[in-house]
Amino acid sequence: MSEQFSRRDFLKLAGLGAATTAVLTGCGPASRYVTREPYQEMPEYNYVGQSTYYATTCRECAAGCGLVVRTYQGRAIKTEGNASHPLNLGKTCARGQATLHGLYNPDRVQGPSNGDWDAAIQLVADALKNNKPDEIAFLMGMAPDHLFDLVTDMANATGMNAPVRYGALGMFEARATLSKAAEALFGQAGLPFFDVGGAQVVLSFGANFLETWLSPVSYTRGFAGLREAKTKMRGKLIQFEARMSATGGKADEWIPLRPGTEALVALAIGRLAAEIRGGSMPRAFSSVDPLDVAARSGIKLEALEHIAEMVAHSSGVLAIPGGAALGQSNGQAVAEAVLALNAFADNLGKPGGVYLSALAPSQSDYSRPASAREMQEFVEKMASGAFKVLFVHGVNPVFELPASLGFKDALGSVEQVISFATFPDETAAEADFVFPDHHGLESWGYQRVVTGTSLPVLSGAQPVVSPYYNTRATADVLIAAAQIAGGAFAEALPYTDEVEFLQTKVSALMNEADGSFSALDAATFMAYFQQHGGWWKNTDSRLAPASSILNSNIDAAEAEFAGEGEFFLVPFVSPTLAEAGANKPWLQELPDPTTTVMWNTWVEINPETAHELGIESDDVVRVISEVGEVEAAVYLYPAIRPDTIAIPFGQGHTAYGRYAENRGANPANLLSVHFNASGDLAFAGMKVKVEKTGVKRPLSRLEGLGVYGGEGIELH
């Protein structure tokens, strides 16, 4: 140290001395972690002109990407990806960027609906105490995991119903089918991991992996790896789907097959490739006739042969089953047929192939969100009065479930509905009480990364700003209520608050070897956990499956379709809004990647078909299914089959704040209740009618087509 003593150094030392007098206050949960410090040593978030950065986990979907949030004088300014997080390596999607518009949304729930948190906690305690355990139900979203664990602990100890998780993204990904297929093939339930980055030829059967599918940031990085030609040839993407998705738009070859023939097409490609390669014909492929498949699917035989040629001769062939292909009556067969192609390509457990995703640290079994059939059972229990009290957290089932499942009506049969919603969504509007949780960026927690990386990852969340409104962490509410309720509840949650619960759970990882960091005491371990944004193991823990699928018979029946209409309906998740983005104004103003439409819902119709029906661009049409109808303006979409129409899911809210409310239409209202063998909704198995309404309503779009008087950017 130099002889000279700067003013700054003096202040630092003076501060150090004063800091030893810092007092840890102990006045209850809210102030327990507040340290009083002298004025000379301002808290780090309060240095004028300097930003502080906090690592946390994105809560816009359940993938669990790591974020680093820039804060400035206690305000969150910008989210960036956490560069050391194994799942997203410093990258984010548009929804991750716009999460700040959720945090500072003008329409958040600003406090408990009864006005007083003490009374709210008493009310929750009474609900727990005064009902039999099996009359209490929890419905939760796919994030966050720590709260799910807390409620699971509570349920295990008290005999309360185990919490049920649901999310529209899980439904549109047909996660139950994917998991069931993995179980049937690999002897273990779980989510398959498709190593797109290492592959050479990717056959995607409607998988929208560049949009919202499973873990879009990670899969987009994989896609960049597929295309880049650094150490290998530039890889190819071949997409099979009736309507060109944003993912299909990136494909080298886009094959518009007839909906419902995905399994047949996969098997036919397998058969043709096996014939080219010679040797014995795998039993899985033996039952299909490629000529017949060509006729049924609307794909020319030459096209099938051309793809089979690639499959037979290239190394690194990878086939992916997407949600729309699985969400049909024959979804199970589609999953098997597509995975049989992978077995034929001999890529199981190899780079560029299929793995079983690594389980997160401290996770013993894969647990998936509820399928639509399980949700139907849940709704039936609600309707029968079996539940006296229902807690809802992190999901908006009135909007996200198909209306035909009757969730909204069934809510009426539950005596007490308590919502923990951060935003005034449709479910909160139906609830008896709303006790708002913090926004994700104000929250503690963790999220297990279920797929998208080779490492087992527990992604950590911490508040990056203090709560803006009079909200309270749901975990804190439950812990406090359990103490009041006493008995088994109090024993199940013997914690002072949410942070202590987290510390208990997270510090259990301290003894595990091969971690991204280690520490000798729990407090240090927890501090590192916050600083790094989670804890992960350093070795590839994906499982390499073995499968005998090639030697089994696959029932390749075509899918069945419900309804009388002349059009196949493709409901797809909006790539920019997803299921819960509609209340964020900048997400609304992002042009859709394929149509460039902003701020509304549209119906995609092939221009030729529209011409025959006398429908023009921006004409409002009524789409009618066997259970419902929606109205939206037409977008003449050049890349959709003439017998198919498509509607994005994400708009059509009747609540959820000023930017979402009364805007667009919700295609979930068209979906009728049909399941596939795994219990997933056959949402892609609807036929619908289209009627003109005579109304014209121009869609706002980035591309200029003259609809708004010819202004804007021309002819994109």
Is the Cβ of residue 117 or residue 254 nearer to other proteins in the bound state? 254
99-128 residues in contact with other proteins (CB under 8 A) are: 100-101, 103-106
Q: Which of 205, 102, 250, 110 is nearest to 577 (CA)?
A: 102
How many whole angstroms separate alpha carbon 140 and alpha carbon 147? 9
Q: Does 224 bind other proteins (CB under 8 A)?
A: yes
CA distances from 446 to 32, 316, 501, 529 (A): 20, 35, 11, 10
In the complex, minimum distance from the CB of residue 413 to other proteins, in angstroms, rounded to a whole number: 38
327-366 residues in contact with other proteins (CB under 8 A) are: none
Is the Cβ of residue 80 or residue 626 nearer to other proteins in the bound state? 80
608-667 residues in contact with other proteins (CB under 8 A) are: 608, 638-642, 658, 663
Q: Does 405 bind other proteins (CB under 8 A)?
A: no
Q: Dihedrals φ, ψ of 339, to 5°?
A: -70, -30
Q: Quick one: which of 120, 168, 246, 684 contacts other proteins (CB under 8 A)?
A: 246
- How many residues contact other proteins, by CB under 8 A? 81
Q: Does 93 bind other proteins (CB under 8 A)?
A: yes
In the complex, minimum distance from the CB of residue 207 to other proteins, in angstroms, rounded to a whole number: 13
248-267 residues in contact with other proteins (CB under 8 A) are: 249-250, 254, 256
In the complex, minimum distance from the CB of residue 347 to other proteins, in angstroms, rounded to a whole number: 22
Q: Quick one: which of 58, 76, 143, 334 contacts other proteins (CB under 8 A)?
A: 76
Q: Does 574 bind other proteins (CB under 8 A)?
A: no
Q: Does 685 bind other proteins (CB under 8 A)?
A: no
463-502 residues in contact with other proteins (CB under 8 A) are: 468
Q: Quick one: which of 593, 629, 654, 673 contacts other proteins (CB under 8 A)?
A: 593
| CB 532 within 8 Å of CB 517 | yes
Q: Quick one: which of 590, 633, 688, 690 contacts other proteins (CB under 8 A)?
A: 590
Compute how many other C-beta atoms are within 10 angstroms of the C-beta atom of residue 612.
10
DSSP string, 394-430: S--HHHHS-GGG-HHHHHTTSSEEEE--SS--HHHHH
163-222 residues in contact with other proteins (CB under 8 A) are: 210-211, 216-217, 220-221
**Burial bucket for residue 716 (CB in 10 Å: 0-12, 13-18, 19+):** exposed
Question: Pairing mode, if any, of strands 66-72 and 75-81?
Answer: antiparallel
Contact window for other proteins (CB under 8 A) among 122-130, 145-153, 179-187, 599-607: 599-607
How many whole angstroms separate alpha carbon 65 and alpha carbon 703? 32
225-244 residues in contact with other proteins (CB under 8 A) are: 227-228, 234, 244
Task: Write out the two tokens for 683.
Answer: 């949402």
Q: Does 90 bind other proteins (CB under 8 A)?
A: yes
Q: Does 285 bind other proteins (CB under 8 A)?
A: no
Report the SS3 class of residue 17.
Answer: helix
Q: Quick one: which of 57, 204, 453, 576 contacts other proteins (CB under 8 A)?
A: 576
Q: Quick one: which of 79, 177, 332, 676 contacts other proteins (CB under 8 A)?
A: 79
How many whole angstroms separate alpha carbon 325 and alpha carbon 583? 29
| CB 423 within 8 Å of CB 653 | no
CA distances from 76 to 53, 108, 121, 442, 632 (A): 9, 16, 29, 10, 37
Is the Cβ of residue 92 or residue 530 nearer to other proteins in the bound state? 92
Q: Locate tokens 């946390």: which residue?
A: 56
Q: Does 77 bind other proteins (CB under 8 A)?
A: yes
Q: Quick one: which of 12, 36, 78, 277 contacts other proteins (CB under 8 A)?
A: 78
CA distances from 370 to 321, 379, 580, 670 (A): 19, 12, 18, 21
Beta strands in 15-74 (DSSP E): 23-24, 35-36, 52-57, 66-72
Q: Does 575 bind other proteins (CB under 8 A)?
A: yes
In the complex, minimum distance from the CB of residue 590 to other proteins, in angstroms, rounded to a whole number: 4
Is the Cβ of residue 133 or residue 712 nearer to other proteins in the bound state? 712
How many whole angstroms separate alpha carbon 365 and alpha carbon 434? 33
